[in-house]
Amino acid sequence: MRIATWNVNSIRQRQGHVERWLARVQPDVLMLQELKCEAVQYPGAAFEALGYRSLVVGQKAYNGVACLSRLPVQDVHTALPGLVGPDVPQARYVEVIADGVTLIGIYLPNGNSGGDAGYQAKLDWMQALRARAEALLEADADFVILGDFNVAPTDEDYAKGALSPADALARPATRAQYQALINLGLTDAIRALHPTGRVYTFWDYQAAAFQRNQGLRIDHALMSPRMAERLVAAVPDRAERGEEQPSDHVPVVFELA
């Protein structure tokens, strides 16, 4: 199974990028984030012509996630179970079952806007995600949580100067919540195969960040134990960031035996 995640930063602007990438890489399942459109505006017919059915959770102008699959899928959830509060209506979560594996696509809140309340909403979201992972583990399910986590887990996961110590992506409480997911017994797929070094998935549009390799690793896949045993490759497709009018994130591809 080949699965992937990609924050496309507007599907209507990046439709051609996604079509070309699907034709070239041919993943079995692709999780998209930051669609920035409602479901009725999503170009599903174009992807269906390439063999991909879409499950879309859209939102006007902001957020939005989708699952594109060429495998039969069972739709499970289009919102994070157990999440309460003002951010519940936001389109940030999709969960399906494909080939017996639960695949969860997420667009975790950034946490840098809205002051203390905005940051607390990020932590609340992460706590609810951990509770969902715990429930799946208790059910002995095979699963992968993948997407834009908006978390740089360690200092090695961003270039020097790319984030301030106060940034919500790298605050101690953010990292503690991410580590709490790992402590459940989940595996950070990229670091399982690339334990050290610069493995970035995002480069800002400003200050020639891509050309200077001033990146961040914030797009992740966390795998349950049996899925981690099947992991054979985890590769950010860096070439996509060099395309004309790219997303600031690149696709990340995970190969499972």
| pLDDT tens track for 11-40 | 999 999 999 999 999 999 999 999 999 999
pLDDT of res. 89: 85
Q: Is the pLDDT confidence value at 87 over 80?
A: no
Distances (CA, A) of 133 to 67, 81, 225, 228, 237: 19, 10, 12, 15, 27
Buried b / exposed e along 163-185 (16+ C-beta atoms within 10 A): beeebbbbbeebbebbeebeeee
Q: Is the pLDDT confidence value at 99 over 80?
A: yes
pLDDT of res. 146: 98
Q: Is the pLDDT confidence value at 44 over 90?
A: yes
Three-class DSSP category at 44: helix
Residue 60, CA atoms < 13 Å, CB-side half-sphere: 0
Q: Residue 113 — φ and ψ, nearest 5°?
A: -115, 160
pLDDT of res. 85: 77
CB 106 within 8 A of CB 132: no
**Span 92-103, mean pLDDT?**
98
Q: What's the mean pLDDT when you consider all of the chain?
A: 97
| pLDDT tens track for 150-181 | 999 999 999 999 999 899 999 999 999 999 99
**Confidence label for 86 from pLDDT (cuts 50, 70 and 90):** confident
Q: Which helix (H) or strand (E) holds 227?
A: helix 225-230
All structural domains of the chain, each given as residue ranges with its CATH number in brackets, are 2-256 (3.60.10.10)
Give me the percent of the chain exceeding a pLDDT of 70: 100
